[in-house]
Amino acid sequence: MSEVQITPPTEAPAPPTTRARTLARYLLAASLVFAGLSHLFWARKDFQAQVPDWVPMDKDGVVMASGGVEIMLGAGLAVANRDRVRVGRLAALFFAAVFPGNIAQYLGKRSAFGLDTDRKRLIRLFFQPVLVLWALWSTGTPRR
C-alpha cells in the first residue's frame, strides 16, 4: 500500500506595502486603540449620543462593546502584518457599520464631541468614508 502525503495549503504572503501605507496603518491602529479606550473610560456619555434609538440594546453596552471591537481592530492593525489586508477589511466594515450612529447623531441633533451644530454634525458624516478608505489603503487591500 502506498502512503499518501497531504500537505497543508500555503497562505499567500501579504501584498507588498510602502512606508507611507505602513505609517498610515500604525496611525490608524493607534487612533482605534485610543478611541476604544475612550469608549470604555472617559467619553462613554458622548459615544452614547451616537447610538441610534432603534438599536434594541442598552446604549452603554453598545458603546462598551464597540470600544472593545475598536481596541481589537487597532491591535490587529498594529501586529498582524501577514493578515493586515483581512484586518483592514474588517476595520472598513466596522466603520461602515457604525455610520448609522453618526447619522442618528445628526438627525437627532445630539451634541457630543464638540459637534454642537447641525453644520458640524453634517460635516462629520463626510469623514466616515475617509476612515473606510484609510483602512483599506493603509493595509494594502489589493484591487480586484
Report pLDDT digits (tens) over 69-126. Answer: 999 999 999 999 899 999 999 999 999 999 999 999 999 999 999 999 999 999 999 9
Query: From its phi and psi, is residue 140 left (phi > 0), alpha (psi between -120 and 50) or beta?
Result: left
Question: Does a structural domain hold residue 5?
Answer: no
Question: Does a structural domain hold residue 1?
Answer: no
Range of the domain at 91: 19-139
Question: Does a structural domain hold residue 78?
Answer: yes
Residue located via cell numbers 457630543? 112
Q: CA 101 to CA 36: how far, in whole Å?
A: 16
The pLDDT of 37-54, averaged and rounded, is 93
Question: Does a structural domain hold residue 30?
Answer: yes
Q: CA 60 to CA 40: how far, in whole Å?
A: 9
